[in-house]
Structure 1
């Protein structure tokens, strides 16, 4: 895999690997590491297969930076309208969350430097600068993201090594909750932790000369990296703290405070990790929305820059509290846009190819393996996620 494809894998991984990773041990610890690991592998397998279906549709359509063109050619005008509506609802909500979170971090950093600017000004500053980087193109994001992601991994490795001396193997085999319903409820949290699918069409266009096998490996590697990071962090925290300690925490800040008693510098290190994770996730989601707008509106990059960031920024400034209620539905939206819609795209494109009976050479054809059985499993996976959301 060349550097461009490796960088694309890191964009996928960075989009998925958000600050929410820190909360995963608090969610899964009560069920024991075996159940938590199995559930995470199930969620990873389902989301990765659905992402490969979107990759298949992107390759077969052969054009379009966003899901707009793919949906138009595979689902028709009605499907295009539904896809765009769900995608915009999800991406705008996510960007609002990132702008709110990043604005708060920027505000604290600037205050520590002795500069007096408001929280709103910090949000605007972040959106303008980070948005400008996104508008510069996928190549710029690729190169910057490589540096940011490697720094994030270095911070994570330092944290893991710091926690290892205090780990207890006895904690690994402790499970205090054997409720299958409670375990299923956590699926919603884990599913959103692998939300990298929107960036795939952009990366297919960015790697236009790559083979289908290379693109497939790009997606697989990009999804595997966050899985490994999530599991290592889960094992490190669960091994370091007892279940009784973990259940006392109301938020991630309290978890970090307890870990800080064992490793003095963990506050600073995890703050850096949170900021980097938020930034890499922002770049992935913002790139997806930017390219979607180019694909849909066919405007120059300056106009697309405004179209992409004006609504998330205004929402972050004026509707932050109301937005939090809307964000609770983001997981349900994501099930449809990340699982069911890619599945329908792939099914329709395969049917279309069968009707035309066009001879396609092996080097020009790509189809995710598994056939109808895998499709049925993918559909069941989507229903499982909806059940986890509404329980």
Structure 2
């Protein structure tokens, strides 16, 4: 077994598996089992294909590159500027949101231990300490992420063991809304929950000795883990609570409290899961921004460390109570960066390859022009859903 590839697949999964996972039942439960599952599969297939397009562009551009260099080689100077602008905006927004969320969790944890810290102190401590792991390199992130992910799987397993025996088939089949417009609106939340595309250039660099088939399988396998986790959690929560109850909750804490009232250990287990989900997402996104800065500025690790974390930390301190709003902005940026940019890169490298007589045989995402057209329509659908 190739542990580097396995670890890389877990980084893909861990970056996607953010704390937003816990809100998925609240978003989808009102539409029932069938439509909730179909929407989840639709979003997963679209984001995974876009990730394979980015993999193709990365390999054909030369491999071992950051998004900055891939954009310059495929889209030219103008495309490089646009891609960098989108990428920095996305990664900074995501890191801001994760620092805000993690700071709140650290504050509560320290308070339970008898140490009262301010929110600012907790956010700074989290960003600086977790940032050291990222600055140590992808290998360090990989090894820590494997441990954290294993604990997350155990936590999710304990949750399912508690909830599955009490699932009600009647609750699963219940749907309190048949509005397709409302269903489409949920796609923005689901799409952000599969936002792992930013780590692909870093993982291609990390797995420089892997075959193209292995890299493809790494992405598909890594994306399947959050898909399965989301569906299991959706079914378990839907089966234990009615659709009306789900839609009445103002936040995830109320959902956890309600489930915890009937299942004693659920509250603790899901609280641990939330913390680990935030941390694994932070590590994946911070790794992508660190490598992007290293590629763009060509500085040593200490300077790159400061460049990577100073802006997100300042933003988090400034917008300390805007966790969901920041994630909303990230969702709109992600549509362009995760769908349209990889598609444009792939179209360009395929055109260049078609005019080269002695072109080397490289990996190519399947589906041809039809799949590219469907990917474009998928991006337009997501934009419409974000703007509704």
Fold shared by both chains (TM-score > 0.5): yes
- TM-score per shorter chain, which class? over 0.9
Q: Could you tell me how far 1:172 is from its partner in structure 2?
A: 1.5
Aligned match of 1:375: 372
Please say which of residues 302-311 and 324-333 is displaced more in the overlay: 324-333
Where 1:74 maps in the other structure, the secondary structure is helix
* 1:345 counterpart = 2:342: no
User: What is the match of residue 56 of structure 2?
Assistant: 56
Is 1:385 aligned to 2:388, yes or no? no
Q: Residue 254 of structure 2 aligns with which residue?
A: 254
Q: What is the match of residue 23 of structure 2?
A: 23
Show the counterpart of 2:124. 124
Matching of residue 103 in structure 1 with residue 124 in structure 2: no
Task: Output one character per residue of 1:150-169: Cα deviation in whole Å (capped at 9) or x when no partner.
Answer: 10011001000101222111
Structure 1 residues 60-103: Cα deviation after superposition (integer angstroms, max 9, x where no partner): 11245420000000000000000000010010010011111111
Alpha-carbon distance in 1 for matches of 2:214, 2:241 = 41
By how many angstroms is 1:330 displaced? 1.7
Shift of 1:359: 3.1
Residue-by-residue CA offset, 1:276-324 (whole Å, 9 max, x unaligned) = 0000000000000000000000001110000000000111112335786
Write the deviation string for residues 18-64 of structure 1: whole angstroms up to 9, x where unpaired.
11011101110111110010111010000000000001111111245
Change beyond 3 A, Cα 1:19–1:323: closer
Contact between 2:101 and 2:323, CA under 8 Å: does it hold in 1?
Answer: no
CA distance in structure 2 between the partners assigned to 1:367 and 1:134 by the alignment:
31
Where does structure 1 lack aligned partners over 5 or more consecutive residues?
none
Aligned to 2:209: 209
**TM-score (norm: length of structure 2):** 0.98
CA contact 2:18–2:277 (8 Å) conserved in 1? yes
Alignment check: 8 A CA contact 1:65 1:291 kept: no
The equivalent of 1:329 in structure 2 is 329
Q: Does 1:44 align with 2:44?
A: yes
State how far apart, in whole Å, the 1-side matches of 2:39 and 2:324 are.
27
Q: Is the 8 A contact 1:93 1:323 kept in 2?
A: no
Other-structure match for 1:366:
363
Distance in 2 between the 1:108 and 1:163 partners? 26
Question: Which segment is superposed worse, 311-320 or 223-232?
Answer: 311-320
Decide whether the 8 Å contact of 1:198 with 1:285 is kept in 2: yes
1 CA distance for matches of 2:71 and 2:293?
14
Q: Is the 8 A contact 1:64 1:70 kept in 2?
A: no
Q: Is the 8 A contact 2:30 2:244 kept in 1?
A: no
> Is 1:224 aligned to residue 221 of structure 2?
no
User: In the comparison of the two structures, how many residue pairs are matched?
Assistant: 388
SS of equivalent to 2:371: helix
Task: Identify if the C-alpha distance between structure 1 residues 326 and 157 changes in structure 2 by more than 3 Å, giving closer, same or farther.
Answer: closer
Distance 2:310 2:270 in 1: 30
| Alpha-carbon distance between aligned partners in 1 of 2:268 and 2:15, rounded to the nearest angstrom | 22
CA shift, 1:244, in A, is 2.1
Query: Counterparts of 2:65 and 2:263 in 1: how far apart (Å)?
Result: 45
Deviation, 1:267, is 1.2
CA shift in 2, pair 1:334/1:99, >3 Å? same
Which structure 2 residue ranges, 5 or more long, are not aligned?
A: none
- Contact kept, 8 Å, 1:18 with 1:193, in 2: the verdict is yes
Mapped contact 1:18–1:277 kept (Cα < 8 A): yes
* Pairing 1:276-291 to 2, within 5 Å after superposition: 276-291=276-291
- Whether the 8 Å CA contact 1:16–1:193 is kept in 2: the answer is yes
| DSSP 3-state at the match of 1:261 | helix
